[in-house]
Chains A and B, each alone.
Chain A
Amino acid sequence: DIQMTQSPSSVSASVGDRVVITCRASQDISAWLVWYQQKPGKAPNLLIYGASRLQSGVPSRFSGSGSGTVFTLTISSLQPEDFATYYCQQARSSPPTFGGGTRVEIK
């Protein structure tokens, strides 16, 4: 299985801050990388697919980049509704695997 490692595991930030989350794959996954946001008690919500393609309806302050083994999710200006846990997932090979998550907390 492809292992996905996220860093940091948690980050404290203020409204308006720029936040960057990194996801590393244990092998080359090209651009087969997906990002989800999950709030407590809710199902994950798709943010970005294909490493950089914004899902319809997702605010443009979210962006994704990277290819191969290193990827980033950037929130350009953190909003109150963005405090949540973020997960990456590789879609290159079966089984799909997820990173351990990054919790974005209020500073």
Chain B
Amino acid sequence: QLLESGGGLVHPGGSLRLSCAASEFTFSNYAMSWVRQAPGKGLEWVSGTDGSGGITYYADFVKGRFTISRDNSKNTLYLQMNSLRGEDTAVYYCARAPVYIAVAGRAPKWFDPWGQGTLVTVSS
């Protein structure tokens, strides 16, 4: 089970840290990801990390602004979001996401299960 928290209203340029508490599985054994969904729009992969947290990977549109991390002692995944923009407004989901590694790059293979999501609204 995955339970996100930390969403809310933030001004443009502001920061927010999302959390995702995991239970009922051995958290450190699994790569994890964040996926977002803008209101009325489709799904968009944001960032992922391996089981140890030592390897992280990002979608191009968040590189340098968002940082993914995890604390395996607390079974918790995080997403630190800085320099937030209006287009970052979305429901943010965490998901277990095994990673595929190829010459072309490292990215999730699929997402399962998903948390219930937390809404981030960026507005003045």
A binds B: no
